Amino acid sequence: MRDRCGWGILRESAHSPGRQFDDAEILRLTAKHLEARGMGVSLRGPDEVNGMGERAPAFIFSMCERLGILRRLRRYEMAGVLQVNAPSAVLETYRVRMVSRFQRAGIPFPGSTIVTTASADLHVSEPVWVKRADVHCIQEGDVVFASRPGAAQEALRQLADRGIPRAVIQEHVRGDLIKFYGVGDPGRLRGHRPWFRWFYHRDQDVAGHPFDPNLLATVAQRAAAALGLEVYGGDAIAREGGGLVVIDLNAWPSFALYREEASVHIAAYLEARFSGGDGV
């Protein structure tokens, strides 16, 4: 039975600002559905994973993002423990890595430049987005829309004051903001049909720019594959006059609007991945 017993590891609380329940609930529901499929799951916090200090599980599914826990999970991965998402894939979501990965893979992505936050002589033409270059937004100031002269420089100074050494200056793309969720890598499991959902982000006036939802799914799946993600969520822009641009991609979101449906598909996908099956 041990080969069907594994761990589900919760996201660090500091990386779930205001979303602790949502993040924990998608993991709990996934574990419930895995157990209904005959697999044993122990849910753990990141501090309970000590990196080979105890007998290794057969598999791990994790929402962790910080370097320390990713290094510990990497040791389990090197010992042969199957993981979704792989620690290396989560690390690729750090913006300093994601920018170059998307460029090499030809993913439609805003023009982005990695800079040091101490760039006192940096000159940019607003509007732009200033984003910390490592993890995604976990507190105010991590992602700033700089729309007025000097705002980008001020955002960089504030990041520098917090000890964040690098940032991404990203082109502002106008259009309708779309959020999407995905499960599965069509190139990893033969016969697997990925699950995908999208919706318009709240707090905007939707212009209704036309786009092909099937193309959105394809672009999102290509972006996820470029980073090695299997459970993911992100944001895209439907531009006026057509065209889609991915502006962000995250490992294992909370799936809040589709939690019940998503957890069923995640569990089915994980069972196939961890059992060595060909599809779900």
Inside any domain, residue 105: no
184 and 124 assigned to the same domain: no
Structure tokens at 152: 């980008």
* Residue 120, pLDDT above cutoff 90: no
Q: Is a pLDDT exceeding 50 seen at residue 246?
A: yes
Fill in the DSSP letter of residue 278: S
Please report the pLDDT score of residue 165 as a whole number: 92
Angle ∠(65,50,40) on CA atoms, nearest 5: 85
The reply to whether 81 falls in a domain is yes
Q: Does residue 260 fall inside a structural domain?
A: no
CA distance linking residue 219 with residue 145, whole number of Å: 25
pLDDT at residue 108 greater than cutoff 50: yes
1 has a pLDDT exceeding 60: no
Q: pLDDT band at 121, cuts 50/70/90?
A: low
pLDDT of residue 227: 97
Same domain, 42 and 9: yes
CATH number of the domain that residue 117 is part of: 3.30.1490.20
Split into its structural domains, the chain has a count of 3
- Give the tens place of pLDDT for each residue, 255-278: 989 999 999 999 999 999 998 754
Q: Is residue 19 part of a domain?
A: yes
Residues 90-118, mean pLDDT to the nearest whole number: 94
Mean local confidence (pLDDT), 172-176: 95
Assess if residue 277 is contained within a domain: no
Classify residue 77: in a domain, yes or no.
Answer: yes
Check whether residue 129 and residue 61 sit in a common domain.
no
Residue 195 has pLDDT above 70, yes or no: yes
Instruction: Indicate if 17 and 56 belong to the same structural domain.
Output: yes
List the domain range (segments joined by +) for residue 239. 176-255
| Same domain for 87 and 166 | no
Q: What mean pLDDT is predicted for residues 106-127?
A: 85
**What's the pLDDT score for residue 51?**
67
In this prediction, residue 277 carries a pLDDT of 54
- Is 160 found in the same domain as 183? no
pTM over 0.75: yes
pLDDT digits (tens, 9 = 90+) for 8-57: 999 988 777 767 888 899 999 999 999 999 999 999 999 888 766 678 89
262 located within any domain: no
Mean pLDDT of all residues in 57-78:
93
Average pLDDT of the chain, as a whole number: 90
Same domain, 227 and 200: yes
The answer on 129 and 201 residing in a single domain is no
* Residue finishing a domain among 42, 63, 92: 92
- Do residues 36 and 76 both lie within one domain? yes
Tell me the β-bridge partners of 195.
183
**Is 16 in the same domain as 56?**
yes
Q: Are 162 and 213 within one domain?
A: no
> Domain of 199: which CATH number?
3.30.470.20
Choose the final residue of a domain: 119, 141, 171: 171
Q: What is the mean pLDDT of residues 97-119?
A: 94
Ramachandran category for residue 191: left, alpha or beta (phi over 0 → left; psi -120 to 50 → alpha): left
* Percentage of the chain lying above the pLDDT 70 cut: 95
Q: What burial letters (b/e) apply to 169-197, b meaning 16+ CB within 10 Å?
A: bbeebebbbbbbbbbbbeeebeebebbbb
User: Which H, E and C letters describe 189-251, residue by residue?
Assistant: CCCCCCEEEEEECCCCCCCCCCCCHHHHHHHHHHHHHHHCCCEEEEEEEECCCCCEEEEEEEE
- Residue 88 and residue 6 share a domain: yes
| C-beta atoms surrounding 208 within 10 Å | 9
Residue 280: is its pLDDT beyond 60? Answer: no
Query: Tokens for 254?
Result: 């909370």
Is residue 279 predicted with pLDDT exceeding 50? Answer: no
Residue 124 lies in a domain: yes
Predicted confidence (pLDDT) per residue in 208-236, tens digit: 999 999 999 999 999 999 999 999 999 99
Last residue of a domain, one of 131, 149, 171: 171
